[in-house]
């Protein structure tokens, strides 16, 4: 696998993914019981937007840079920007947090986080970035296999009932990656049916996603919600025109919280043909 997320840090897909991720974390931590988070494709957890890779693509200029300070934005967007500001206070103004950093920032002392990264250099950087944080366990292993190996979670000999699994693959295998991701979700639901599962997916041609969405709706989850942000018309198979977050067993009223955030991101990040959608593939009972 050759994918390096540093080339894409802070782009429109990261903005969507991280706004939703923090909303999920806040819903989890609203209750006092400890929870567990698994990040299956974690990357290094922390990026520099002025580094060689990020500067080469400049994708953050059409992502987080367009959001400004968040004045007047919906609460989930302000929450995201506050987290980015906290990261920059700790690591410098060019820093951008990956999902492991955001999980560590949003979750509590009693919670546990497992981060998986297959590439040795990225896994080494991830381990270095979280050295000294006893909540974060770094696994240099395949994230899909970790779903079977690490779920249901046990911390200190106790099984945790509540938590989140983030699946954020690189989609280098294109359509085959969708099948692998759906298989991991099915296995995760079998092992930990009460957890929330979040799968990020790219959107190029929207119509090509229909088989994937039908298969997602058929998973053995209590409910299935799709959150999508298109920054341009979804009519080119050669570039990523937007992305989505597939949420299995999302927290109650998360859709209502995210609706204004998606509209705001549509306006701030979108160009001609931009759109957004928030729709239930399987509504809650």
Residue 137 pairs in a beta bridge with 114
Residue 34 pairs in a beta bridge with none
Residues with catalytic function: 168
Spell out where the chain has E strands: 36-39, 46-48, 95-97, 112-116, 136-139, 154-155, 158-159, 163-167, 196-203, 224-230, 242-248, 275-282
Q: Residue 63 contacts by C-beta under 8 Å, 6 or more apart in sequence?
A: 10, 11, 12, 13, 14, 15, 269
Does residue 118 contact residue 1 with C-beta atoms inside 8 Å?
Answer: yes
Does residue 34 contact residue 160 with C-beta atoms inside 8 Å?
Answer: yes
Does residue 230 contact residue 273 with C-beta atoms inside 8 Å?
Answer: yes
């Amino acid at each position: 696998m050759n994918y390096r997320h540093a080339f894409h840090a802070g782009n429109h897909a990261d903005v969507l993914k991280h706004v939703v991720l923090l909303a999920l974390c806040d819903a989890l931590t609203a209750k006092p019981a400890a929870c567990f988070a698994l990040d299956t494709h974690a990357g290094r957890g922390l990026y520099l937007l002025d580094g060689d890779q990020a500067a080469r693509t400049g994708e953050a200029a059409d992502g987080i840079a367009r959001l400004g300070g968040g004045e007047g934005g919906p609460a989930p967007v302000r929450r995201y920007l506050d987290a980015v500001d906290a990261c920059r206070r700790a690591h410098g103004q060019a820093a951008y947090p990956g999902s492991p950093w955001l999980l560590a920032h949003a979750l509590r002392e009693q919670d546990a986080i497992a981060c998986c990264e297959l590439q040795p250099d990225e896994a080494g950087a991830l381990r270095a970035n979280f050295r000294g944080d006893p909540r974060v366990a770094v696994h240099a292993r395949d994230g899909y296999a970790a779903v079977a190996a690490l779920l249901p979670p046990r911390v200190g000999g106790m099984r945790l009932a509540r938590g989140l699994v983030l699946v954020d693959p690189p989609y280098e295998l294109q359509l085959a990656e969708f099948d692998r991701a759906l298989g991991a979700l099915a296995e995760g639901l079998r092992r930990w049916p009460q957890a929330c599962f979040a799968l990020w997916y790219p959107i190029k041609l929207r119509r090509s996603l229909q088989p994937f969405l039908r298969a997602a709706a058929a998973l053995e989850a209590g409910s299935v919600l799709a959150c999508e942000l298109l920054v341009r018309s979804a009519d080119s198979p050669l570039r990523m025109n937007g992305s989505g977050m597939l949420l299995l067993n999302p927290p109650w009223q998360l859709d209502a919280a995210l609706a204004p955030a998606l509209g705001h991101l549509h306006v701030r990040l979108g160009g001609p043909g931009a759109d957004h959608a928030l729709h239930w593939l399987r509504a809650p009972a």
